[in-house]
Structure 1
Amino acid sequence: MSDAGAAVRISVIGPFKVTAPCGADITPTGAKNQALLAILALTPGMSRPRRWLEDKLWSTFGPEQASANLRQALSKLRALSPDLAAALNGGRIALSLDPQLVAVQDIAAPGLPHDDRELLEGLDVRDPEFEDWLRAERARLRDAIEAARPREARGVIIECRTDVHGTDQNAIIGEILANQIGQTVADNVRAWRRSGQINGATQRQEGDLQISCDLMENNGKPNIFIKIVHIPTGQILYSKLQALEHASDVLNSAVPISAIVFEAADRVIGKLPLIVENARPEARATALARLALYRMFSFEAESLREADSLLSQAYDVDRNGVYLGWRSLVRMIQLIELLEDNPQALREEAAWLSQRAIEDSFDNSLVQALVAQVLVMELGDPVGGIEMARLSVEQNPANGFGWTAMAMSHMRAGDAALAIKYSTQARQIARFSPFRQWWEVNHCVVNIACNQPAEAIAAGEAAARAAPSLRPAHRHLLALYAMDGQMDKALATAQKLTKIEPGFTLDRFINDETYPVRTLRTKGLLEPIRALL
């Protein structure tokens, strides 16, 4: 309510107590009078049917006597205080407390002495129905307190295993692949990998996920079967049977294998918040971060601010450096898109967040990839970006973000051949990602910078299909269509931008030096658009 000082205050932790707005104690005498107020106070909406209340407080009486007892209790409560009388509403069907006139103690508020006090302590109504209700409410209170209690993130426990089908080499290859998937999951959420084998009678904590990768021969060709299971429920989170050209593709981290690893890990990460107990910090942080990614990869100003807030909350819940790395990428996008008023402040924050992310999680391949991209695109350090991106892909060759960072680093360093090679590899690895527009729009920019307009158009169109309101994709397509003489498509794209980008005009696109088309302007690709003016 808006003014707790003008309310009747009801305390339910420890002994039941009712206080008038002036501070006077107006706690009713009589256990059932207290219980009647307590039930209403603890009910969502503060309203219960009369017959329900009669059944909870006078279950051993006949209907007429129970109804008379309820009326008598109401009269006594209203006589205690004009403030309580005003707050207690009695209709023919239901009784209620006015939420605008009553303030009920928050039973899950942090800092209250819950551990040594009980809900409605000492209240003895001596009615079996009320006692059942009270036991249920006390259990709910314990659950609420436990859910609100800060916990240390212990990490998702991942068991990586394989079964032998054929040669010993197949067993080793299956175990390598299972560990690659486990590592990619652990790059995104606090997690620990362990062997699926148990030696002796050692007791250990039950795992959360089991990743099994089994290789077998079929008509002389190796096949791999991947299955990821939530151990407590047995729920299958991901499964795939994939034919390989050569078993050594796993050892060499061939692109098709890296794509499977990236896809499997991404599917599991998306489902983790739904299957892991929400009270665990790593589950809550993963849910916040996943939602943030959907907001971030829209490239919309307000969505980017919301993404930053969600990632900040994720870091507060589970102090994992990956959330700082994502926040630095948010700053990079805001800088590129010119969405905020103080670019220097954003650049300083990007640098600070990148440094903190590396300090917190230096050995995290995803953190290395995110920081590498920020170093290259906004902090003016392509050499540092290449070094950091190389660390990322050496540690985890299935990291699609790492290969994009490699591509952008080599693009800025002027090595067109490697930039296109790494960008092509990145988009192949991440082709099943729900955020694939990220790889497509980066591939479009790389091909523009490397004078490959046909490939740039294909990538830009793929990005627009994946995210129809993605403004960077449409901006690049506008210039590419005009350069290619496809004026009808260029005009349609300009009209699309008018709808999805506030303040868009062709004149601003061409003549405003601050407009976010740096690569197009550098390559001289804006002039053909003048034909549309």
Structure 2
Amino acid sequence: MRDTAPSLRISVLGPLRVEAGEGLCLTPKGAKNQALLALLALSPEMSRPRRWLEDKLWSQFGPEQASANLRQALSKLRSALGDHADVLRADRATVSLDPLALSIDLRDDGLRFDQRTELLEGLDARDPEFEEWLRMERADLQARLSQAEPKEAKGVLIHCRSTAPAEDGANIMADILANQIGENIAEQIRAWRQANDPDHPAELPVSDISLTCDILKTTDGHTLFVKGLHVPSGRILYSKMQSISHLEAILHSDEIVSKLVFEAADCIIGKLPQVLDTNRPESRATALSRLSMYRMFSFERDALREAYSLLKQAHELDSNGIYLAWSSMVRMIQLLELLEDDRDALREEAIALNYRAMEASEDNALVHALISKVRGTAQRDAAGAFELADTAVNRNPASAFAWKSLAEANMLKGDVTSAFDASARARAIARSSPFKQWWDMGHCIISIACNRPHEAIEAGEAAARAAPLSRPAHRHLLALYALDGQLDKAHATAVKLGKIEPGFSIDQIINDENYPVRTLRNKGLLEPIRALL
């Protein structure tokens, strides 16, 4: 960082110009003198060996004449700079500019997003070596401009293919399965499904992803084979065989089929950032949002802040409403986990993001599922939360997110039996997810509400295994172990909580009404913890 403002400004975008003070022009006369200044200004550390400069400006002269020409050019350059001549430094080996005394538009102002901008416009030093240098510098600038210029996110193109025997409607079922996977991908990132229309054949653009679903009839039912392929590279992103007893399992989105659909979509999305062109905004947005989920589901204060920042960057690259919905969820987690001081601001922002997400992606089932949580918790609108969750499940019965939102909406309605069933289904569908602790923890809390402590312990332990630093899992396990008489485990859990949650105490979980164990408190399950005091 500079301690003082630079005394000179050199502009290399467009015609070369040197200014001092209030617009005082100090641009040297003569193409060679200007070229010498430009060579130094655009060089690493603004420094070059004398011989390198001589070779670029006087390549057709002998060494002695080239050296004399450089000395003359340096003298004229100092004269042109006047009182600022000390920014130009020279010794027997090198010539340089003082980088702290200069401001260079290309270096300090960032890139102008205008492909018409020309570097050192009109400068002709009449030397083939300089012309070659200038040509390469201009090409590099245009490449940087092209890369930095904002691009519209066009989306990932998914070609859904299917093959199956025509009898029993297997061909239709294969098509349904392929499209279900494609739809699950398109809910989470900007993507389009592509299919050939045999009645209207056309030259289609090359797809990014090929989704193939084959159905083979067997003696005891059918075998499904699903494969996701990155078309340009031929890399297989996902493949799996799954046996089903009857084809209606696809039509009815049975649990085994829903798990296959959810798993395929999740695996493919997870690998997309590794294969897509990183210059594409949807590729970068996908990578950022995927990373945000790893941060989000750790439930840590700094990680949640980072998750929000990553989602904000993703939305700036690709204005997809799903990133707003996830941002709203981050704010809800921060609110519920008491991780930030201004809870009212978190609630207001979560609600605002909710509305923006719905406006941007009103037909996205995943958006409905995510904002259902905010609608119910932040806005205390149980009916609205249920309507959104029910819509999400109806639109995508293979979504673990949708079933989790329906489970929580049923909890708000007081229908704990339906809540438990929906949560168990969500958990089963998401069994292979790298974020499965999200569903495990949700099922733990719902099991507590349903007076099923042993199911709650099993789900809580699964969440703690998947996310060892998860505060919610250990908070609930502490009470559940104490309730079940497993005081050694309860004590060990309390010790671990003390390490991962600054300021935690057993007295706090029992007596602080704001501590985030509302379901345990409402069910009167905190009293057994007093045995640890």
TM-score with structure 1 setting the length = 0.90
State the superposition RMSD in angstroms.
2.9
- 1:146 equivalent in alignment to 2:146: yes
| 3-state SS of 1:341 partner | coil
Shift of 1:88: 4.2
Is contact 2:115-2:142 (8 Å) kept? Answer: no
Which shifted more, 234-243 or 360-369? 234-243
Matches within 5 A, 1:117-266: 117-164=117-164, 167=167, 169-197=169-197, 202-217=202-217, 221-266=221-266
Shift of 1:222: 2.4
Distance, in Å, in 2 between the alignment partners of 1:111 and 1:175 is 47
- 1:501 equivalent in alignment to 2:501: yes
> Which segments of 5 or more consecutive residues in structure 1 lack a partner in the other structure?
none
Is contact 1:165-1:214 (8 Å) kept? Answer: no
Which residue matches 1:271? 271
Render the CA deviation track for 1:344-370: whole Å, top value 9, x for unaligned.
333233222222222221210100100
Distance, in Å, in 2 between the alignment partners of 1:235 and 1:109 is 41
Which shifted more, 453-462 or 132-141? 132-141
Shift of 1:17: 1.8
Matches within 5 A, 1:50-129: 53=53, 55-60=55-60, 73-81=73-81, 85-90=85-90, 96-106=96-106, 112=112, 114-129=114-129
Letter in 2 for 1:417: T
Shift of 1:95: 5.1
Which residue matches 2:486? 486
Classify 1:421/1:113 alpha carbon distance in 2 versus 1 (closer, same or farther; 3 Å): closer
Render the CA deviation track for 1:29-49: whole Å, top value 9, x for unaligned.
443443343344334544556
| 3-state SS of 2:25 partner | coil
Classify 1:138/1:483 alpha carbon distance in 2 versus 1 (closer, same or farther; 3 Å): same
Letter in 2 for 1:118: E
Which residue matches 2:408? 408
Which residue matches 1:280? 280
- 1:343 equivalent in alignment to 2:343: yes
Distance, in Å, in 1 between the alignment partners of 2:108 and 2:7 is 20
Which residue matches 2:355? 355
Which residue matches 1:331? 331
Render the CA deviation track for 1:380-420: whole Å, top value 9, x for unaligned.
22332222111101111121111111111222323232222
Which shifted more, 214-223 or 490-499? 214-223
Which shifted more, 117-126 or 240-249? 240-249
Distance, in Å, in 1 between the alignment partners of 2:229 and 2:497 is 44
Matches within 5 A, 1:454-469: 454-469=454-469
Distance, in Å, in 1 between the alignment partners of 2:459 and 2:411 is 16
Shift of 1:294: 2.3
Which shifted more, 97-106 or 47-56? 47-56
Distance, in Å, in 2 between the alignment partners of 1:256 and 1:84 is 77
| 3-state SS of 1:439 partner | helix
| 3-state SS of 2:146 partner | helix
Render the CA deviation track for 1:411-468: whole Å, top value 9, x for unaligned.
2323232222211111121122222221111111111111111221121121112121
Letter in 2 for 1:391: T
- 1:28 equivalent in alignment to 2:37: no
| 3-state SS of 1:344 partner | helix
> Which segments of 5 or more consecutive residues in structure 2 lack a partner in the other structure?
none
Render the CA deviation track for 1:124-167: whole Å, top value 9, x for unaligned.
23444433333332223223223333333322222211234574
Which shifted more, 290-299 or 522-531? 290-299
Is contact 1:110-1:148 (8 Å) kept? Answer: no
Distance, in Å, in 2 between the alignment partners of 1:48 and 1:435 is 53
Render the CA deviation track for 1:255-312: whole Å, top value 9, x for unaligned.
2222222222222223334433444333333233223222222222233233223323
Shift of 1:28: 3.1
Classify 1:51/1:513 alpha carbon distance in 2 versus 1 (closer, same or farther; 3 Å): farther
Which residue matches 1:17? 17
**Percent identical:** 56
Distance, in Å, in 1 between the alignment partners of 2:225 and 2:93 is 62
Shift of 1:231: 2.9
Shift of 1:110: 7.9
| 3-state SS of 1:81 partner | helix
Shift of 1:371: 1.1
| 3-state SS of 1:246 partner | coil
Letter in 2 for 1:411: M
| 3-state SS of 2:106 partner | coil
Classify 1:503/1:252 alpha carbon distance in 2 versus 1 (closer, same or farther; 3 Å): same
TM-score with structure 2 setting the length = 0.90
Which residue matches 2:518? 518
Distance, in Å, in 2 between the alignment partners of 1:385 and 1:279 is 38
Which residue matches 2:531? 531
Shift of 1:242: 3.0
Distance, in Å, in 1 between the alignment partners of 2:67 and 2:464 is 67
Classify 1:17/1:304 alpha carbon distance in 2 versus 1 (closer, same or farther; 3 Å): same
Render the CA deviation track for 1:482-502: whole Å, top value 9, x for unaligned.
112222221221111111111
- Between Structure 1 and Structure 2, how many residues are aligned? 533
Which residue matches 2:439? 439
